[in-house]
């Protein structure tokens, strides 16, 4: 995973709450078996409306999305994170994220920066009155900065460390192989097993 320390880009004000993952990427785009190229599905229904924010200059090239509360609710589809990243977003700012979306973001190096709703409102006003204002998201001091505005954000320390270091979760877990095997040796015998096949 690519490490993240700081990022500066065009902020996009998305004045919507409850942006569920079906809106971020509709199910019809989930049929692919590859891991890239999901940018065409991002907000597909909303983007068909020419007035949608991502169809406006200079927001088209945005990389910091500033959204309402309860961002990423609903389906667990990691495709929502892939679509945001493939489009060019590096950060989503919201006052509340759905748990699964937050976890998926952390795995993919998309920063889910949790700000207060009042700071989100200030960012919205600034980005709407001065479109194209660059927004800097600094993971080292956990702040979102735009012009004079400095908004602290929350992200858990472990995720922050992993993002700063660009570390892969699976490799980290496999360092504990002995403990996993030890745990497996003590599992109850009645626990169910499936009927696996012979792997080819």
Partner 1 sequence: MSRTLAEKVWEAHVVRHGSGAEPDLLYIDLHLLHEVTSPQAFDGLRLANRKLRRPDLTIATEDHNVPTVDIDKPIADPVSRLQVETLRRNCAEFGVRLHPMGDLEQGIVHVVGPQLGLTQPGMTVVCGDSHTSTHGAFGALAFGIGTSEVEHVMATQTLPLRPFKTMAINVDGALRPGVTAKDIILAVIAKIGTGGGQGYVLEYRGAAIENLSMEARMTVCNMSIEAGARAGMIAPDDTTFDYIKGRPHAPSGADWDAAVAYWRTLKTDDDAKFDAEVHIDADTLTPFVTWGTNPGQGLPLGANIPDPEQIADENERVAAEKALAYMGLEPGTPLRDIHVDTVFLGSCTNGRIEDLRAAADVIKGKHVASGVRMLVVPGSMRVRKQAEEEGLDKVFLDAGAEWRQAGCSMCLGMNPDQLAPGERSASTSNRNFEGRQGKGGRTHLVSPLVAAATAVRGTLSAPADLEN
Least distance to partner 1 from the beta carbon of 62, Å?
21
By CB under 8 A, residue 18 contacts partner 1: yes
By CB under 8 A, residue 148 contacts partner 1: no
Q: Using CB under 8 A, pick the residue from 2, 51, 185, 188 that binds partner 1.
A: 188
By CB under 8 A, residue 147 contacts partner 1: no
Contact of 74 with 20, CB cutoff 8 Å: yes
Which CB, 130 or 179, lies closer to partner 1?
A: 179
By CB under 8 A, residue 60 contacts partner 1: no
Contact stretch for partner 1 (CB under 8 A) within 19-27, 52-60, 134-142, 143-151: 19-27
CA dist 29 → 33, 51, 63 (Å): 10, 22, 21
Q: Using CB under 8 A, pick the residue from 3, 45, 150, 164 that binds partner 1.
A: 45
Helix (H) or strand (E) holding 85: helix 79-87
By CB under 8 A, residue 142 contacts partner 1: no
Which residues, listed in sequence order, are joined to residue 97 by a DSSP beta bridge? 71
Which CB, 35 or 147, lies closer to partner 1?
A: 35
Instruction: Convert residues 64-83 into a mask of x (bound to partner 1 by CB under 8 A) and - (unbound).
Output: ----xxx--xxxxxxx-x--
The CA-CA-CA angle for residues 3, 102, 58, to 5°, reads 70
Q: Using CB under 8 A, pick the residue from 40, 58, 154, 161 that binds partner 1.
A: 161
Does residue 183 sit in helix, strand or coil? Answer: helix
CA distance linking residue 53 with residue 33, whole number of Å: 29
Q: How many helices (H) and strands (E) does the chain have?
A: 8, 7
List the one residue out of 112, 191, 198, 115 whose CA is nearest residue 159. 112
Contact of 153 with 143, CB cutoff 8 Å: yes
CA distance linking residue 106 with residue 103, whole number of Å: 5
Which CB, 148 or 200, lies closer to partner 1?
A: 200
The binding site for partner 1 (CB under 8 A) comprises: 15-18, 20, 22-23, 26-28, 30-35, 45, 68-70, 73-79, 81, 96-100, 103-104, 107-108, 156-158, 161, 169-170, 172-174, 176, 179-180, 183-184, 187-200
């Amino acid at each position: 995973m690519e490490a993240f320390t700081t990022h500066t880009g065009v902020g996009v004000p998305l004045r919507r709450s409850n942006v569920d993952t079906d809106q971020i990427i509709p199910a019809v785009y989930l049929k692919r078996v590859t891991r890239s190229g999901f940018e065409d599905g991002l907000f597909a229904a909303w983007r068909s409306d020419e007035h949608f924010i991502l169809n406006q200059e200079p927001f088209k090239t945005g990389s910091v999305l500033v959204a309402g509360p309860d961002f990423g609710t609903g389906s667990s589809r990691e495709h929502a994170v892939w679509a945001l990243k493939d489009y060019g977003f590096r950060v989503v700012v919201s006052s509340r994220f759905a748990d699964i979306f937050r976890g998926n973001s952390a795995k993919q190096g998309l920063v889910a920066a949790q700000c207060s709703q009042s700071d989100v409102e200030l960012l919205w006003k600034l980005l709407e009155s001065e479109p194209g204002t660059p927004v800097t998201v600094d993971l080292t001091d956990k702040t979102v900065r735009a012009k004079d505005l400095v908004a602290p954000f929350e992200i858990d320390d472990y995720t922050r460390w992993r993002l700063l270091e660009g570390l892969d979760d699976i490799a980290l877990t496999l360092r504990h192989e002995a403990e996993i095997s030890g745990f497996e040796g003590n599992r109850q015998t009645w626990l169910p097993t499936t009927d696996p096949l012979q792997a080819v």
